[in-house]
Structure 1
Amino acid sequence: MGAALLRIDELTKTFGKNTAVDRATIQVDRPMMIGIIGRSGAGKSTLLRMLNRLTDHTSGQVVFEGRDVTALKGAEKRAWQADCAMIFQQFNLVPRMDVVSNVLHGTLNKRSTLASLFNLFPEADIHRAIDILDRLGIAEHAPKRAEALSGGQQQRVAIARALMQDPKIILADEPIASLDPMNAQIVMDALRRIHEEDGRTVIANLHTLDTARRYCDRVIGMLHGRIVFDGTPEQLTTGVARDIYGADASFSEEATSTEIGALNRTTRPAPIPA
């Protein structure tokens, strides 16, 4: 194998006698948008948390641009977490804080303790935060409290906060699980544009097969902590999905879908313009 952008080798996480992620091995040679699917408890979130170093691994290795990130400690570990931004299902915003300040919190790892304590941000950072919000279509909400926004708008604020870190990788843990279909589409459109326009790798845990097919260049399926599928959206047939979810012949994709569509698609649907 040649030099990879990201290489995950035999990555494993155990909690007591339970194995959450079992020898996961993935190689990413270029920036792409990757979807990870699987039923609840398959190990998807634990895998992302190990990539970001929010959770320590039990064994294995994560190498990014030739550097072993699983061995990083202290300031180097925090720098990696800035390079590998995390977006969560529940947004993780400060509800009573205004939107632009929430976005500026993406720079806290680069600020002094005193500046962070008193929310002192350079004017250039404030302008950049507003530019990012404008890119995501919510600049007019910059002075509002985060709690005043809809769920879809709050998730875009969380994406803007991640972009303030200027990350090389964006990890999104079920970013649309709590959103209605329209807002889910807006958020996924935003993540796809960030990948295409910025050349950033985006890895998203997804709970719907149609979303994985529509937005991702590559789909990884997990079952009982193991990777059981790694292929293109076109290869994600109903039979493959049945295996990923450990389901029998009665499996229906509608149970995991946000839209009505054919089960065995031979071509990917064109993304709806933002």
Structure 2
Amino acid sequence: MLEVKGLTKRFGANVAVDAVSLSVDRPCMIGVIGRSGAGKSTLLRMMNRLTEASGGEILFDGRDVLSLTGREKRGWQSDCAMIFQQFNLVPRMDVVSNVLHGTLGRRSTLATMFSLYPEEDIHTAIDILDRLGIAQHAAKRAEALSGGQQQRVAIARALMQDPKVILADEPIASLDPMNAQTVMEALRRIHDEDGRMVIANLHTLDTARRYCDRILGMRDGRIVFDGTPEQLTTGVARDIYGAGTDFSEAATSTEIRDTAPVAAVERRLAKVTV
């Protein structure tokens, strides 16, 4: 489905992403980990075409993503939805209108100016909010919601695009542990129930192990690890973060383990059983 070949981004003399290559042949949930400045956000932004690549290729279902312009580029950005750490909502606008902004890519300029939404889209937006457990807040201003609720609104807006791929750039970095769990469970359900590819930059190793099928580790703009949660041992984590034997949970605000959490193992066993 997705093939990245030699993807590179330079900012002057600095190489933020250095000849990254990866292949994804089926929808799955992928976590990208690495220290700050490793190139994780730049990688996702190039995939979505928010940042232009300096070199390389991105192919999705055989289509050259980096060559798209105009309407075709906007179409790709609808197919490849982006979720940000800071939510990027309109604070003083009601929740359902924020969700409906996910349809802007396929609406006319006049309809956008006057906020004219088809009744079918409004019902779809409310259904998505209900699926994410926040339909009761549809009429509230976005700024009245908690951080976790706002992030779920941002996820709902992404789902309004009906994307094939969801890119999440540090979606839980500014959330407390309980809200972070709620958001990650929502993203996991979207993958499991809809069959959408989800790629998320994450700053905690236990989160990556628990929710993701595949984990990429980035260091200095390159992918230095590509494996399963079970393969992400303490030693591997030290290599990804460029740390010594004193590497501890303080480095990622999480507990470092040599095996995947029981919940992740149980989920995989359940999939095999089904």
Quickly name the TM-score band, shorter chain normalised: over 0.9
Instruction: Tell me how far apart the structure 2 counterparts of residues 55 and 16 of structure 1 sit (CA, whole Å).
Output: 14
TM-score under structure 1 length normalisation: 0.95
Instruction: Tell me how far apart the structure 2 counterparts of residues 134 and 116 of structure 1 sit (CA, whole Å).
Output: 24
Partner residue of 2:30? 34
Gap runs ≥5 in structure 1: none
**Runs of 4+, deviation exceeding 2 Å:** none
Instruction: Tell me how far apart the structure 2 counterparts of residues 96 and 229 of structure 1 sit (CA, whole Å).
Output: 42
Counterpart mapping for 1:208-219 below 5 A: 208-219=204-215
Instruction: Tell me how far apart the structure 1 counterparts of residues 197 and 6 of structure 2 sit (CA, whole Å).
Output: 21
Secondary structure of 2:192's aligned partner: helix
Paired amino acid for 2:184: M
Alignment size in residue pairs = 266
Name the one with the larger helix percent.
2
Instruction: Tell me how far apart the structure 2 counterparts of residues 15 and 257 of structure 1 sit (CA, whole Å).
Output: 29
Gap runs ≥5 in structure 2: 268-274
Q: Deviations over 1:87-138 (max 9, x none)?
A: 0000000000000000000000100001001111000000000000000000
Shift of 1:255: 3.0
Shift of 1:254: 4.1
Paired amino acid for 1:21: V
- Asked if 1:264 is matched to 2:246, the reply is no
TM-score under structure 2 length normalisation: 0.95
- Asked if 1:57 is matched to 2:53, the reply is yes
Partner residue of 1:95? 91
Counterpart mapping for 1:1-274 below 5 A: 5-258=1-254, 261=255, 263-265=257-259, 267-270=260-263
Instruction: Tell me how far apart the structure 2 counterparts of residues 262 and 177 of structure 1 sit (CA, whole Å).
Output: 18
Q: Deviations over 1:149-205 (max 9, x none)?
A: 000000000000000000000000000000000000000000000000000000000
CA contact under 8 A between 1:238 and 1:263: conserved in structure 2? yes
Instruction: Tell me how far apart the structure 1 counterparts of residues 116 and 88 of structure 2 sit (CA, whole Å).
Output: 21
Shift of 1:262: 5.6
CA contact under 8 A between 1:210 and 1:257: conserved in structure 2? no
Paired amino acid for 1:153: Q
Alignment root-mean-square deviation, CA: 1.3
Shift of 1:264: 1.2
CA contact under 8 A between 2:248 and 2:256: conserved in structure 1? no
CA contact under 8 A between 1:12 and 1:24: conserved in structure 2? yes
Instruction: Tell me how far apart the structure 1 counterparts of residues 246 and 3 of structure 2 sit (CA, whole Å).
Output: 36
Partner residue of 2:272? none
Instruction: Tell me how far apart the structure 2 counterparts of residues 75 and 262 of structure 1 sit (CA, whole Å).
Output: 45
CA contact under 8 A between 1:209 and 1:253: conserved in structure 2? no
